[in-house]
Chain A
């Protein structure tokens, strides 16, 4: 059971380039999330999805887009990368949104924008 798989694990981009981070989960979870983690700060929610075909903005959505065409996949896109988007990105999934819904995280994707 793989859980949550993120690709790629590392990426270096130049300012203005675009890229897509892929998240896949095999636990049949309804909810999926994209977070970024920066030194000295808590995890910040970028976008999330409450089911196949749905997406919603989180706390810091600007500069990112997402898609959830299939229940098991949640893609995070950067259309025109900026140095401020240098961060570690974590995808997570949960069975539901309320109650004690435990998040299962992927291993993270470290992105550097030069």
Chain B
């Protein structure tokens, strides 16, 4: 079966750096997405990786290793507003998105 694994919850301190991991086993691979979802709100797009390596976008970076079935989202200079769930999703060989359950990130002052 297809599977996306992410930690359920992580805690970090304001101003620090946190890395949220995502491992996947899917039938084929056509890209990996990270979305942010604040409590009670809609998911919003953060990043997309289709080739191996690091994509940087301001305070957020996303890394992909297709051979390892692994990605991480790196958040730098954490702010209180970064408290949210972070969803990892992989597009399989049929171009269907398979979603992880999300990682709830709690930022403490």
Contact = CB atoms under 8 A, between A and B. Distances in A.
Do A and B originate from a single complex?
A: yes
Given A42-B4, A42-B87, A106 B98 contact: no
Contacts of B50: 100
A105 B42 contact: yes
Contact of B97 (A40, A45, A104, A107): A45
Interface in A28-71: 40-45, 58-59
B30 A90 contact: no
Given A42-B87, A42-B102, A108 B42 contact: yes
The DSSP consensus for interface residues of chain B is loop
A108 B35 CA distance: 15
Nearest to B101: A42
A42 B42 contact: no
B42 A90 contact: yes
Contacts of A40: 8, 101
A97 B91 CA distance: 10
B42 A100 contact: no
Interface in A75-114: 90, 97-100, 102-108
Interface string B59-83: 0000000000000000000000000
A44 B98 CA distance: 8
Given A98-B30, A100-B48, A44 B99 contact: yes
Interface string B86-100: 010100000111111
Closest 10 CB pairs of A and B: A42-B99, A105-B42, A43-B99, A100-B48, A102-B45, A42-B101, A42-B100, A105-B43, A107-B42, A97-B95
12 contacts: A4-B42, A40-B8, A40-B101, A42-B89, A42-B101, A97-B95, A98-B30, A100-B48, A102-B45, A103-B43, A105-B44, A108-B40
